[in-house]
Amino acid sequence: MMKISKIEYYLPQQVLTNEDLEKQFPEWSSERIQEKVGISQRHISSDSETVLDMAVQSSEKIFENYDRNKVDFILFCTQSPEYFLPTTACILQDRLGLRKNIGAIDFNLGCSGFVYGLAFAKGLISAGIAKSILLVTSETYTKHIHPEDKGNRSIFGDASASAIIEKSEGNDYQFCLGTDGSGAENLIVKKGAFKKDFELNPEHEFSPENIYMNGPEIFNFTIENIPGLVKETLEVNGMTMDDIDHFVFHQANSFMLNYLRKKTKIPAEKFYIDMEKTGNTVSATIPIALKNMMNKGMLKEGDKVLMAGFGVGYSWGATIIEI
């Protein structure tokens, strides 16, 4: 029904290493950070660099080998948009010099965003609304993080990924999506929009303009929901674990990923982890991982990849693609 024709990504120039964090927080060692989250460095957007700037960079890489005039819809996933209004996708259309007779929308999702974007793209293609969709996931979570928040600073990095989604004559794989808004308070930036009568979580050490993450609760949510998500995705597609060549999950942190792999009994050789040099880039982690797998020659024509995204919201989703 659809295929991912191209993927490119962009990483900001500024790099924050574990050694940099160790200098600021002497009670932490770079080795401890590496062991705890599986990350040695992460890319940080400059003060003047926005998700739009990064989206232009990743998208222009696409158009080095793809006719930009074929694009007839932009799906832009971000939780750190350029403005409240207008939509960043509209500005991206102009910045990229794309046709004016196309659709363009933003959607606000985090770590499940790429999978949801594919689901939206499938709907647009199935309905005959679009044939070539530019799906962009671009995030600058680091701008939400307080400088003294060593936990979140060790995890998150900034990035943008762009992909072209087109109609395919291959198999029509189904999506499994989920939502549980009761977990909203566990990963949140409370101040910045229009709600004024909020209370800070007593565990939140920093400003309400900064991100708050309850790590243990996020971990529990993931362990409770994602093994079932994998099982459900296989079942609705009439497949088993043996039919899948690769499993690519949202790159949250290596400890969580390894725990999930063991709990779901996924063979280690089929489970891809790739976040050491980029960190958790939120909605961009899955497309970055897929692109790196392509660059390494790990993906061949006909390979089936099960992707699963999960996090803030709570929100989760999974599907299968065929290379």
Total domains, the chain:
2
The answer to whether residues 259 and 206 belong to one domain is yes
Which pLDDT score, from 0 to 100, does residue 82 have?
Answer: 94
The answer to whether residues 270 and 142 belong to one domain is no
Domain finish residue from 144, 167, 190? 167
Q: What percentage of the chain carries pLDDT values higher than 70? A: 100
Domain finish residue from 167, 194, 225? 167
pLDDT per position as a tens digit, 256-289: 999 999 999 999 999 999 999 999 999 999 999 9
The pTM assigned to this predicted structure is 0.96
The answer to whether residues 220 and 142 belong to one domain is no
Structural domain containing residue 124:
2-167
Whether 144 is catalytic:
no
The answer to whether residues 217 and 163 belong to one domain is no
The answer to whether residues 40 and 153 belong to one domain is yes
Of 111, 144, 204, 253, the catalytic one is: 111
The answer to whether residues 186 and 311 belong to one domain is yes
Of 18, 152, 250, 253, the catalytic one is: 250
The answer to whether residues 249 and 292 belong to one domain is yes
**Residues 184, 118: Cα–Cα separation, whole Å:** 23
Whether 250 is catalytic:
yes
pLDDT per position as a tens digit, 85-139: 999 999 999 999 999 999 999 999 999 999 999 999 999 999 999 999 999 999 9
The total number of residues shown for the chain amounts to: 323
**Is residue 75 a contact partner of residue 117, using CB atoms and an 8 Å limit?**
yes
Residue with tokens 């762009």: 162
Whether 111 is catalytic:
yes
The answer to whether residues 206 and 269 belong to one domain is yes
The answer to whether residues 153 and 183 belong to one domain is no
pLDDT per position as a tens digit, 43-83: 999 999 999 999 999 999 999 999 999 999 999 999 999 99
Residue 239 in this model has a pLDDT that exceeds 80:
yes
**Residues 306, 322: Cα–Cα separation, whole Å:** 9
**Residues 47, 27: Cα–Cα separation, whole Å:** 28
Domain finish residue from 128, 147, 167? 167
The answer to whether residues 127 and 189 belong to one domain is no
The answer to whether residues 129 and 208 belong to one domain is no
The answer to whether residues 76 and 153 belong to one domain is yes
Residue 206 in this model has a pLDDT that exceeds 90:
no
Mean pLDDT of 222-229: 96
